[in-house]
Amino acid sequence: MNEPTTLSRRERNKQQTRGRLLDAARELFAARGVVSTTVEDIADRAGVSRATFFNYFPSKDELLSALHASHMDSMARVIDQLLVRELTTTDRIGALFADFVRSTEQLPGYLRAVTGELERDLASPEISVERTERFNDELLRILEPGIAAGEVRTDYPPRFLAQMVAAVYVSTIRYWRQDPDYDLADGFGKAARYAAESLAPRP
């Protein structure tokens, strides 16, 4: 009779340990960068053994992939919230871009370090396609209501438009990552306006 409760507790413990490893990685990547942080560093910060780390992540690269998936899950939740509100496509794009700026303020140093490492991972075609397509899928969810409402141009396929918005988003991150003095709030604000204006229907 007690087995389901025991299994549930075990699963909760596993989730908590995995969460501690991810949190430890975020803190260390922010402070030291990805390359200078070792598996041992992450395990020590999380309060687990090196062997336990490998029970959850076969490598540091796999942990990075898990962090990226976590970012995409967060983005999906933001988009879910935007879609239930009566907003224009321009407002939704602006809010999505602004959310990244808020994230950098909450995790200073972390996103600059991790986005650079993730970009290097994109040299692998399999990783690149999977991550890029999920990002495009999320952006497409913002565009579809705008298309239905006549707010978004229809002379290009919707997925192509999502890809162009993604290109603006990623390029702005790249400029910010390369320039320590880059004003991200200003740059992302302009990027969001440019992306929204490029989506407007043509006469």
Residue closest to 165 by CA, chosen among 136, 201, 129, 130 = 136
Q: Residue holding tokens 């025991």? A: 6
Domain assignment of residue 189, given as a range: 59-199
Q: Based on the domain organization, do 22 and 105 belong to the same domain?
A: no
- Cβ 135 vs Cβ 72: under 8 Å: yes
CATH of the domain at 123: 1.10.357.10
Q: Based on the domain organization, do 105 and 5 belong to the same domain?
A: no
Alpha carbon separation from 51 to 21, 22, 43, 48, 107 (Å, rounded): 12, 16, 9, 8, 28
How many domains does the structure of the chain reveal? 2
Q: Based on the domain organization, do 84 and 152 belong to the same domain?
A: yes
pLDDT at 163 over 90: yes
Q: Where residue 105 falls among pLDDT bands split at 50, 70, 90?
A: confident
Q: Based on the domain organization, do 36 and 96 belong to the same domain?
A: no
CATH of the domain at 3: 1.10.10.60
pLDDT at 114 over 90: no
Model's pTM, two decimal places?
0.84
Which sign does the torsion angle of CA 142, 147, 150, 152 carry? positive
Instruction: Give residues with Cβ within 8 angstroms of 153, minimum separation 6.
Output: 161, 199, 200, 201, 202
Both tokens of residue 162?
């999502």
Both tokens of residue 25?
């990685």
4-18, 80-94, 122-136, 162-176: least confidently modelled range: 122-136
Q: Residue holding tokens 């430890």? A: 24
